[in-house]
A = this chain, B = another copy of it.
């Protein structure tokens, strides 16, 4: 079995030193409390979550006599997760949660996700569904559903996709027919529903997109419904079957322990649901959950990439070839340094974004920044989490390709994060069309100014090469933004759409480099006064930034050329 090792020092650096989340005084947490929570959470992950990772992948989810059975090994860890209060972490106090700074919650949840991504999807989706019910649900739901979801008796799902409505959610066909009193009869087939059915929970609360009569075609005619697997009696207890049938579970490349279900609503008897949010407002209501899910996809890449890196670091220090540890072979070392810079860069990005949720409570502009960073977190971290996982496998050589170290599982498990909750292509379109053009570039400008000032304050001597490179890249950023806004003025949207993935990658690398720059700058300030052990850590943060610049930010010069020289004379011809 693989090793578990987490980069606690780097997590603490991000939370306590760089973001200083202890300054969110409303949570009453001092620096040491934060360290304590991370340490406890990490122990739980090491002792209870990680040991389930490989066994639950090998066993996988089974459908037996129509019932969906999760690997037995997941039962105990799920119970502990709720019983120990980890599910409650970061949720509002009024529903029994333990409010903490968002970045602390994300740092913890990332540890668990890295250690068993497929398992974490059960409580992860429940949490997202719970948030929707809490924000938009009626009193009955708040009284009877939320407590059950909080204590882990009931789980939650999001049901969007249908066989012919994947990226194109607007063409979904499921229907909802009013019964009065907010109740509806739901009919339709949903596919690829994570945690769609399982024996981990007594009941499932499905959030289902469907059409009521008289709505417009496309996304504007869609509403959201709360559809329990078993009906809920007036007193909140579980009633008869609500006729939601799992007609199939998918056989997948990875996340074998996560039940990916095809669900039939209302074909085998009547299925009842309640409208949640306003009629025809389904997409907006679902997006409360979707945005959380997109950030969570990013965490899936970030967390698994980070653990895969830690395993590779450990392995390459132990494996000896040609008379020395393979980490000391220059080519292996180069790969490890890249992996560390990339995986820590992803962490810095995700925790920074998480921290904006606290900022946004008083500064609403930060909501737009979160919106801009969401597709970056989702697409860049899922893609690079996959790449780091593949590099970690490579560092293990033939052993990595075999199942025994558990490292190949990262490649299989991260791949899906590039696809679900909006493919990375969809993220790129969202980023350019909605988050930049629809916004008139205001939010992009806001964050660009911050970056310009960060780069400006970088020491000319210690970071000479990096400062020059970053300045060049910022000039390119301007040129690209200008080019794209010209396309938009001329209604050349096809040209924009052909370049949006490249621009998303470019922007992601600017943002990650910036977060690593801030980390390096702070580390450089602290390094002189530190102990030997701490000096080593701070030096590693300076190294991360320099390595990221040399290997990734440099790539932006090429991407800029690709975008700026682009013409579609051959790309629109018939394939």
Contacts and interface: CB of A to CB of B under 8 A. Distances in A.
Interface of A: 161, 164, 166-168, 170-171, 191-192, 250-254, 260, 313, 317, 320-322, 326-327, 329-337, 340, 386, 390, 393-394, 397-398, 400-404, 408, 411-412, 415-416, 418-420, 423-425, 428-429, 465, 494, 497-498, 500-501, 536, 539-540, 542-543, 546-547, 550-551, 554-558, 561-562, 565-566, 570-575
A433 to B, nearest CB: 11
B561 A250 contact: no
B562 A497 contact: no
Contact of A397 (B412, B419, B561): B419
Contact of A336 (B252, B326, B575): B575
B571 A561 contact: no
Contacts of A404: 251
A401 B415 contact: yes
Contact of A401 (B386, B398, B416): B416
B561 A554 contact: yes
B575 A333 contact: yes
Contact of A557 (B334, B394, B423, B558): B558
A554 B555 CA distance: 10
A425 B396 CA distance: 12
19 contacts: A171-B321, A191-B398, A192-B398, A252-B408, A253-B401, A253-B402, A253-B403, A253-B412, A254-B401, A260-B402, A329-B497, A394-B419, A398-B420, A401-B415, A542-B570, A546-B570, A555-B555, A557-B558, A557-B561
A393 B252 CA distance: 12
Contacts of A557: 557-558, 561
A508 to B, nearest CB: 16
A47 to B, nearest CB: 26
Contacts of A573: 539-540, 543
Nearest to A331: B425
Contacts of A543: 570-571, 573
Given A415-B401, A558-B558, A501 B420 contact: no
Nearest to A408: B253
Given A321-B167, A415-B390, A551-B562, A571 B333 contact: yes
B333 A429 contact: no
B419 A166 contact: no
A562 to B, nearest CB: 5
The 10 closest A-B CB pairs, nearest first, are: A330-B497, A253-B408, A168-B321, A558-B558, A543-B570, A331-B425, A330-B498, A251-B403, A192-B398, A168-B322
A557 B562 CA distance: 11
Nearest to A191: B398
A211 to B, nearest CB: 17
A548 to B, nearest CB: 11
A571 B401 contact: no
A227 to B, nearest CB: 21
A75 B547 CA distance: 51
A455 to B, nearest CB: 17
Contacts of A320: 164
A420 B253 CA distance: 22
B402 A250 contact: yes
A423 B555 CA distance: 24
Contacts of A465: 565
A166 B321 contact: yes
Contacts of A335: 425, 501
Contacts of A562: 550-551, 554
Contacts of A167: 321-322, 326, 397
Nearest to A334: B498
Contact of A334 (B260, B394, B411, B571): B571
B558 A554 contact: yes
A164 B394 CA distance: 17
A430 to B, nearest CB: 11
A234 to B, nearest CB: 38
Nearest to A166: B397
A191 B398 CA distance: 10
A322 B429 CA distance: 14
A501 B333 CA distance: 12
A398 B419 contact: yes
Nearest to A398: B192
A419 B400 contact: yes
